[in-house]
Structure 1
Amino acid sequence: MSEALRALNLGALAGQPIEDVFLGLADYVCPDGGTIDEGISREAFIETIADLAGAGITDLDGLTHDQMQTVFELYATNAIEARLCNDIGAKTVTLPSDSWQVARVQAQLNDFIRRAVADALTKARAAEAALTHDRVLAFVGSIYEQAFGILQIMGDTEVEGA
Structure 2
Amino acid sequence: MGTSTAYGGPGGGTPLVPSWLGGEDAGTSPAAPAGPDGSPPADGVAPPAPANRPPIPATADPQRFSGARNSFSRFAGSGGSDRASLGRAVSRYVSTSAGGARQAAQRMGASRGAGARLLGFLADAQARGVREALRALDLESLAGRPINEILVGLADYVCPGAGTVDEGIAREAYIETIVELASEGLTDLTTFTPDQMHTVFELYATHAIEARICNDIGTKAITMPADAQAAHRVEQQLRDFIRGGVSDALTRARVESPNLMPQRIQSFVDAVYESTFAILKSLGDAEADQ
Asked whether the two chains share a fold, i.e. TM above 0.5, the reply is: yes
Q: Which runs of 5+ in 2 are unaligned?
A: 1-118, 125-131, 135-141, 143-149
Equivalent of 1:139, from 266, 272, 277?
Answer: 272
The alpha-carbon distance between structure 1 residues 120 and 71, as it changes in their structure 2 partners (threshold 3 A), is same
Counterparts of 1:103 and 1:48 in 2: how far apart (Å)? 18
- Give the structure with the larger helix fraction: 1
Instruction: Tell me, yes or no, if structure 1 residue 48 matches structure 2 residue 177.
Output: yes
Match of 1:140, as an amino acid?
Y
Report how far residue 63 of structure 1 moved. 2.0
Q: Which residue of 1 aligns with 2:222?
A: 94
The Cα offsets for residues 21-79 of structure 1, whole Å up to 9 and x where unpaired, read as 6666557xxxx796111100110111000000000011134322111111000011111
Note the alpha carbon deviations across 1:95-127, whole angstroms, 9 max, x for none: 544445443332222111112111111111122
Preserved contact between residue 47 and residue 78 of structure 1 (Cα < 8 Å):
yes
In the alignment, the residues of structure 1 paired with residue 207 and residue 226 of structure 2 have an alpha-carbon distance, to the nearest angstrom, of 23
Asked whether the 8 Å contact 2:121–2:133 carries over to 1, the reply is no
User: C-alpha separation between the residues in 2 aligned to 1:2 and 1:97?
Assistant: 40
Please provide the CA RMSD for this pair: 4.0
Q: Which has the larger radius of gyration?
A: 2
Q: How many angstroms apart in 1 are the aligned matches of 2:192 and 2:204?
A: 15
**Letter in structure 2 aligned against 1:104:** R
Matched to 1:105, the amino acid is: V
Conservation of the 8 A alpha-carbon contact between 1:4 and 1:65: no
1:36 equivalent in alignment to 2:179 = no
Aligned pair count reads 142
Match of 2:133 in 1: 15
- Distance in 2, matches of 1:3 and 1:46, equals 16
More relative contact order in 1 or in 2 (CA 8 Å, sep 6+)?
2
Deviation at 1:2, TM superposition (A): 8.5
Which one-letter code corresponds to 2:201 in the other structure? F
Give the TM-score taking structure 1 as reference length. 0.64
